[in-house]
Amino acid sequence: MFADYSWSELGSIFAMQGFAGLVLFSVFVLMALGLAIIFGQMGVINMAHGEFMILGAYVTYMCSNFFQSAAPALMPISFFVAMVLAFFASGALGMLVEMGLIRFLYKRPLDTLLATWGLSLILQQAYRTIFGAREVGVTLPEWMMGSLPLTDIIEIPINGLIVMAITLAITVAVAVVMFRSRFGAKVRAVVQNRQMAGAVGIDTEKVDRLTFGLGCGIAGVAGSAFTMIGSTGPSSGQLYIVDTFLVVVFGGATSLIGTVASAFTISQAQSTLEFFLSGSMAKVLTLLTVVGILMLRPQGLFVLKVRR
Amino acid sequence: MTPPFHAARKTELFGFLVLAAFVLLVLPGVVDPFRLNLVGKYLTYAFVAVGLVLCWGSAGILSLGQGIFFGLGGYCMAMFLKLEASTPEATKIQSTPGIPDFMDWNQLTALPAFWEPFHSLAFTIVAIVAVPAALAFVIGFAMFTRRVGGVYFAIITQAIAAILTILIIGQQGYTGGVNGITDLRTLLGWDIRTDSAKTILYFVNAFLLLGVIALSIAVRSSKLGRILVALRDKEDRVRFSGYDVAAFKIFVFCFAAAISGIGGAMFTLQVGFMSPSFVGIVPSIEMVIFCAVGGRNSLIGAVYGTLLVNWGKTTFSESFPELWLFAMGGLFIAVVMAFPNGLAGIYKSYVQPLFARIVVRPAHRRRPVGGGKTTPAIAE
Amino acid sequence: MTNNDFLLSVEGLTVSFDGFKAVDDLSFYVDPEEIHVIIGPNGAGKTTALDLICGKTRATAGSIRFRSRELTEMKEHQIVHAGVGRKFQNPSIYEDLTVFENLEISYPKGRSVFGALAFKRDAKVRERVAEIAEMIFLADHLSERAEYLSHGQKQWLEIGMLLIQDPELLMLDEPVAGMSVSERVKTAELLHRIIQGRSVIVIEHDMKFVEDIAHKVTVLHQGRVLSEGTMAHVKSDPRVVEVYLGH
Amino acid sequence: MKTNDKGGAPRSMLRRKLMIGSAALALGLAAAGVGHAQTPPTGEVNTTGLAVTDDVVKVGILHSITGTMAISETGSVQAEKLAIKQINDMGGVLGRKIEFIQEDGASDWPTFAEKAKKLLVEDKVAAVFGCWTSASRKAVLPVFEQYNGMLYYPTFYEGLEQSPNVIYTGQEATQQIIAGLDWVAKEKGAKTFYLLGSDYIWPRTSNKIARKHIEDHLGLKVVGEEYYPLGHTQFNSVINKIKLKKPDVIYAIVVGGSNVAFYKQLKAAGIDMTKEKPLVMTISVTEDEIRGIGGENIEGAYATMKYFQSLDNDNNKKFVAAFKNMWGEDMVIGDVTQAAYEGPWLWKAAVEKAGSFDIDKIKEASPGIELTTAPEGYVRIHENHHLWSKTRVGHAKSDGQYEVVYETKELMEPDPFPEGYQ
Give the type of residue at B312: G
Domain ranges, ordered by start, for chain C: 3-92+154-245
B131 falls in which pLDDT band (50, 70, 90)? Answer: very high
φ/ψ of D222, rounded to 5, equals -100, 120
Residue C129 contacts B, CB cutoff 8 Å: no
Q: What is the CATH number of the domain that holds D28?
A: 3.40.50.2300
C90 falls in which pLDDT band (50, 70, 90)? Answer: confident
Residue D406 β-bridge partners: D393
Q: What is the pLDDT of residue B305?
A: 92
Q: What is the pLDDT of residue A308?
A: 37
B104 falls in which pLDDT band (50, 70, 90)? Answer: confident
The candidate with the shortest Cα–Cα distance to B132, out of B53, B78, B76, is B76
For residue C76, which residues of chain A lie inside 8 Å, CB to CB? none
Count how many Cα atoms sit within 13 Å of the Cα of residue B167 in the half-sphere of its side chain: 17
Q: How far is B121 from chain D (nearest CA, A)?
A: 23
Q: Is residue A68 part of a domain?
A: yes
First to last CA, chain D: 46
What is the C-alpha to C-alpha distance for residues D373 and D386, in angstroms, rounded to an integer? 18
Contact predicate A49/A219, CB 8 Å: yes
Q: What is the pLDDT of residue D36?
A: 46
**Candidates A147, A149, A231; nearest CB to D257:** A231
What is the C-alpha to C-alpha distance for residues D260 and A240, in angstroms, rounded to an integer? 14
* Strands A155-157 vs D402-407: parallel, antiparallel or unpaired: unpaired
8 Å CB contact of C148 and B372:
yes
The candidate with the shortest Cα–Cα distance to A94, out of A9, A12, A175, A34, is A34
**Candidates A110, A118, A288; nearest CB to B329:** A118
A4 falls in which pLDDT band (50, 70, 90)? Answer: low
Q: What is the pLDDT of residue D21?
A: 41
Do D84 and D225 share a structural domain? no
User: Which residue ranges in chain D fall short of pLDDT 70?
Assistant: 1-38, 422
What is the C-alpha to C-alpha distance for residues B112 and A150, in angstroms, rounded to an integer? 49
For residue D65, which residues of chain B lie inside 8 Å, CB to CB? 321-322
- Exposure class string for B79-90: b at 16+ Cβ within 10 A, else e: bbbbbbbbeeee
- Of B212-226, C59-73, C193-207, D340-354, the range with the lowest mean pLDDT is C193-207
Q: What is the pLDDT of residue B97?
A: 86
| DSSP E strand boundaries for chain C | 8-17, 20-30, 35-39, 61-66, 69-70, 84-87, 169-173, 199-203, 216-221, 224-229
What is the C-alpha to C-alpha distance for residues D169 and D63, in angstroms, rounded to an integer? 15
Contact predicate D136/D93, CB 8 Å: no
Q: How far is A212 from chain D (nearest CA, A)?
A: 27
CATH fold of the domain at C3-92+154-245: Rossmann fold (3.40.50)
Residue of C180 and D375 predicted with greater confidence: D375
φ/ψ of D253, rounded to 5, equals -125, 60
- Exposure class string for B140-164: b at 16+ Cβ within 10 A, else e: bbbbbbebbbebbbbbbbbbbbbbb
Give tens-digit pLDDT for B335-353: 888 888 888 888 888 887 7
Give me the domain span that covers residue D397: 173-305+391-407
- Kindly tell me if the per-residue pLDDT of C201 is higher than 60: yes
Q: What is the pLDDT of residue B353?
A: 79
| Section C145-160 average pLDDT | 89
With a CB cutoff of 8 Å and minimum separation 6, the contacts of D270 are A146, A147, A149, A155, A157
8 Å CB contact of A128 and D295:
no
What does the radius of gyration of chain A's CA atoms come to, in whole angstroms? Answer: 20
Do D132 and D22 share a structural domain? yes
Contact predicate D173/D284, CB 8 Å: no
Do D159 and D137 share a structural domain? yes
Q: What is the pLDDT of residue A75?
A: 82
What is the C-alpha to C-alpha distance for residues B320 and B307, in angstroms, rounded to an integer? 19
Q: Is residue D237 part of a domain?
A: yes
| Section B184-207 average pLDDT | 90
Q: Is residue A277 part of a domain?
A: no
B172 falls in which pLDDT band (50, 70, 90)? Answer: confident
The candidate with the shortest Cα–Cα distance to D278, out of D258, D254, D253, D251, is D251
Do D206 and D161 share a structural domain? no
Report the residue of chain B nearest D136, measured CA to CA: B179
Work out the mean pLDDT of chain B and round it to a whole number.
Answer: 85
Q: How far is A294 from chain B (nearest CA, A)?
A: 8
| Section A174-202 average pLDDT | 85
Percent of chain A with pLDDT strictly greater than 70: 94
- Kindly tell me if the per-residue pLDDT of B5 is higher than 60: no
Q: What is the pLDDT of residue D172?
A: 93
Total count of domains within chain A:
1
Give tens-digit pLDDT for A22-75: 988 998 999 899 988 888 778 888 889 999 999 999 999 999 989 888 888 888
Q: Is residue D65 part of a domain?
A: yes
* Chain center to CA of D377: 15
**Candidates C76, C119, C148; nearest CB to B240:** C76
8 Å CB contact of D204 and B179:
no
Contact predicate B205/B43, CB 8 Å: yes
The answer to whether chain D touches chain C by having 3 or more C-beta pairs less than 8 angstroms apart is no
Contact predicate A33/A55, CB 8 Å: no
* Chain center to CA of B251: 16
Q: What is the pLDDT of residue B357?
A: 74
8 Å CB contact of D268 and A229:
yes
Residue C93 contacts B, CB cutoff 8 Å: yes
Q: Is residue A77 part of a domain?
A: yes
Give tens-digit pLDDT for A120-129: 999 998 998 8
B7 falls in which pLDDT band (50, 70, 90)? Answer: low
Q: What is the pLDDT of residue B259?
A: 95
Q: Is residue D417 part of a domain?
A: no
Report the residue of chain B nearest C147, measured CA to CA: B373
Give me the domain span that covers residue A63: 18-234
Count how many Cα atoms sit within 13 Å of the Cα of residue A181 in the half-sphere of its side chain: 10
Complex ipTM value? 0.84
C222 falls in which pLDDT band (50, 70, 90)? Answer: confident
The candidate with the shortest Cα–Cα distance to D39, out of D82, D83, D91, D81, is D91
Contact predicate B91/B101, CB 8 Å: yes
Q: Is residue D209 part of a domain?
A: yes
* Three-class secondary structure of residue C201 per DSSP: strand
Q: How far is D101 from chain B (nearest CA, A)?
A: 9
8 Å CB contact of D265 and A229:
yes
The candidate with the shortest Cα–Cα distance to D301, out of D331, D275, D335, is D275
For residue A117, which residues of chain B lie inside 8 Å, CB to CB? 285, 332
Residue of B21 and A4 predicted with greater confidence: B21
Do D240 and D354 share a structural domain? no
Do D359 and D286 share a structural domain? no
B200 falls in which pLDDT band (50, 70, 90)? Answer: very high
First to last CA, chain C: 38
Do D277 and D336 share a structural domain? no
Percent of chain C with pLDDT strictly greater than 90: 14
